[in-house]
Amino acid sequence: MKLVAVTRVLNEADIVEAFVRHTAHFVDQHLFVDNGSVDGTLGILEKLKQEGLPLSVFQSGSRSFIEAQVNTFLYRTAVSGHAADWVVFLDADEFIDDAWLTQPLRDTVAAFQARHGEGACIRVPLRDYHLTPEDPADPVVPRRIRHCVDSAGESSSKVIVPAALLARNAVVLPGNHAVQIDQGSLCPAHAEPGLAYAHYAVRSPYQWISKALIGWSKVLAAGPETVAAKHGYHYQWLFDSLRGNPAGFFSNPQVMQKALAPAGLSLRPLDYRGGELRHTGPVDHPMRAAKVLMQYLHELASQHGEMLELVNKLHATVERNEGISPLF
């Protein structure tokens, strides 16, 4: 039973080392697609590979929302290029939590396959962790952020996908929430009791703001059809709030101090398996947010300019080919 994890990354330098080290405890190989990180994420991944961790990194040049294409590329590469039996879809802020499993993850997946066959996915719920005033000063995110609420529902779960679905034209949909097979139907997905992912989406207010602004900008850049499909909709309210009333947004102490942590949190630290960090330095979150936002704006504007140039050249070609001119 070979497990291969796959992950899309964009500016994850504060968490990616802990994430890779923890995930390596559970899987045989880890594949990444980087979408233009400028905060040191790629340097950390390169150093981890030099250490001998089993990972490979690909680069995407797109600055719009193409998650399904990237997800499906990673799935096919894991199966065809790395002989994966099952492909574990994870974001860099999602850590495998096996505290309530009765056997190791590999055996859990094998038992699921024995019950459901290779025509169903494993649905893994997310348990959302939040900042609190009691958080210790620890560079390892799962050791610093220890309070959580339980999440439920289709939009807050991810999938582990069997290799057999490659033959059924599997497309892994945006967010890694579901898989489309056979040119249209959704693959059945079942939860495995005790298995969850610890989700550290908000690690500082400025990290959260920059992630949401870039996330919704990617959706807008992909066009009206992507917007109408409500991809990345959870970023829209923050984007609109900041655009409509920036003074009110930044003066809201609930936003800027603890990034909207909900009531009713429980102290439930993850059993982190990654050990100490070797390549992650201190993070200046406001300066990091400014850097990644400016870089994304530069790249998006540059790509827009390139497309306008191509459009102008196309118009000139059409006019030349379809125009009427004197012959003799």
Domain assignment present for 187 = yes
Q: What pLDDT does residue 152 have?
A: 47
Number of separate domains in the chain: 1
**CA–CA distance, 247 with 241 (Å, rounded to integer):** 10
* pLDDT higher than threshold 90 for residue 28: yes
φ, ψ of residue 251 to 5 degrees: the values are -90, -5
Amino acid identity of 74?
L
Q: Is 273 exposed, middle or buried (0-12, 13-18, 19+ CB in 10 A)?
A: middle
Q: How confident is the model at residue 242 (pLDDT cuts 50, 70, 90)?
A: confident
CA-based max dimension of the chain? 88
Distances (CA, A) of 57 to 24, 35, 84, 262: 15, 11, 17, 36
Whether residue 131 is contained in a domain is answered as yes
Give the chain's mean pLDDT. 88
Q: Where are the alpha helices (DSSP H) in the chain?
A: 16-23, 41-51, 67-76, 82, 105-116, 141-144, 205-222, 224-228, 236-244, 246-251, 253-258, 285-322
The percent of residues above 90 in pLDDT, for the chain, comes to 54
In a domain, 179, yes or no: yes
Q: How far apart are CA 160 and CA 27, in angstroms?
A: 12
CATH of the domain at 15: 3.90.550.10
Are the C-beta atoms of residues 47 and 71 closer than 8 Å to each other?
no
301: in domain: no
Please say whether the beta carbons of 108 and 182 come within 8 A: no
**More confident site: 283 or 168:** 168
On whether residue 25 sits in a domain, the answer given is yes
Is residue 34 situated within a structural domain? yes
> Distance between CA 111 and CA 113 in Å, rounded?
5
Query: What band does 308 get if pLDDT is binned at 50, 70 and 90?
Result: confident
Confidence band for 260, pLDDT divided at 50, 70 and 90: low
C-alpha 57/C-alpha 6 separation (Å) is: 10
Residue 257, pLDDT score: 60
Residue with structure tokens 């999938």?
Answer: 159
What pLDDT does residue 150 have? Answer: 66
pLDDT at 305: 86
> Does pLDDT of 153 surpass 50?
no
Which pLDDT score is estimated for 220?
83
Q: What is the pLDDT of residues 163-192, one digit of tens each?
A: 999 999 999 998 889 999 998 899 999 999
When pLDDT is averaged across residues 224-241 and rounded to a whole number, the result is 79
102: containing domain: 3-204+261-278
Question: Domain for residue 242, yes or no?
Answer: no
Mean pLDDT across 127-149: 91
State the average pLDDT over residues 142-149: 93
Give the long-range contacts of residues 105-109, CB within 8 A, separation 24 or more.
105/3, 105/26, 105/195, 106/1, 106/3, 106/26, 108/192, 108/194, 108/195, 109/1, 109/3, 109/160, 109/192
Instruction: Give domain status of residue 24, yes or no.
Output: yes
300 has a pLDDT exceeding 90: no
Tens digits of residue pLDDT in 49-73: 999 999 999 998 776 657 889 999 9
User: Mind giving me the DSSP string for 43-105?
Assistant: HHHHHHHHHT--EEEEE----S--HHHHHHHHHHIIIIIH--SEEEE--TTEEEE-TT-SS-H
